[in-house]
């Protein structure tokens, strides 16, 4: 898996310090070659060992390996962007824009596939399929997607509870039973909300 894709896919499961490192790398990948581990640590106000551990947690031997891998990925992306157009490339601006959108969509699909291995997706599908009840919650703009997903699950005959308000969702979680599943959707950070909802679900199931 490309290093930047891996960082993005792991970000929500990182500690606060790890997220700071991840965000800096994602925002400044093209500049990372100029940073030593000590310089990166100083820029973020953290210890050098935190940078090294971050690199190792991602599967690299150390920060130099992570920096090299990201440098290679950035270089490949730059070469692709600067490559000469093929002979059959779109001739006008409209077609060129359509081609760029198609390429962007293909790249996004590939990143999504790499960030979600088949085994993990199948395990989630089994949990959803076997759940007596599904609680679905989306934060902010993702509430729209959560509502749409909840509606589709309901049309499949699944018992689904959806609320855009976290307070109402917590109240509904008081009816949770063993085996019920909570689906949280967010394209960004939830803050402390997932822990609150998951703790509520866990507490209710432990009472059964």
Give dist(CA 162, CA 165) in Å, integer: 9
How much is the pTM? 0.52
Looking at 10-19, 34-43, 68-77, 182-191, which range is the least confident one? 182-191
Instruction: Give, as one character, the DSSP assignment of residue 152.
Output: H
Containing 181, the helix (H) or strand (E) segment is: strand 181-185
- Read off the pLDDT of residues 62-102 as tens digits, 9 standing for 90 and up: 999 999 999 888 887 765 555 455 555 556 778 878 887 88
């Amino acid at each position: 898996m490309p290093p930047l894709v891996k960082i993005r896919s792991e970000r929500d499961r990182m500690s606060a310090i790890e997220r700071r490192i991840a965000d800096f790398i994602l925002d400044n990948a093209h500049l990372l070659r100029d940073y030593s581990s000590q310089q990166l640590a100083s820029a973020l106000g953290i210890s050098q060992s935190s940078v090294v551990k971050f690199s190792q947690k991602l599967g690299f031997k150390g920060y130099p390996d992570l920096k090299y891998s990201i440098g290679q990925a950035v270089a490949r992306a730059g070469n692709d962007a600067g490559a000469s157009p093929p002979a059959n490339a779109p001739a006008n601006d409209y077609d060129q824009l359509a081609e760029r959108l198609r390429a962007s969509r293909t790249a996004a699909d590939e990143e999504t596939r790499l960030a979600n291995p088949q085994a993990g997706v199948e395990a989630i599908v089994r949990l959803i399929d076997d759940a007596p009840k599904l609680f679905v919650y989306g934060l902010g703009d993702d509430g729209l997607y959560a509502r749409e997903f909840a509606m589709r699950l309901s049309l499949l005959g699944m018992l689904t509870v959806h609320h855009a308000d976290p307070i109402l969702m917590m109240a509904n979680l008081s009816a949770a039973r063993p085996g019920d599943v909570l689906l949280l959707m967010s394209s960004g950070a939830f803050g402390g909300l997932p822990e609150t909802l998951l703790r509520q679900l866990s507490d209710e199931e432990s009472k059964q």
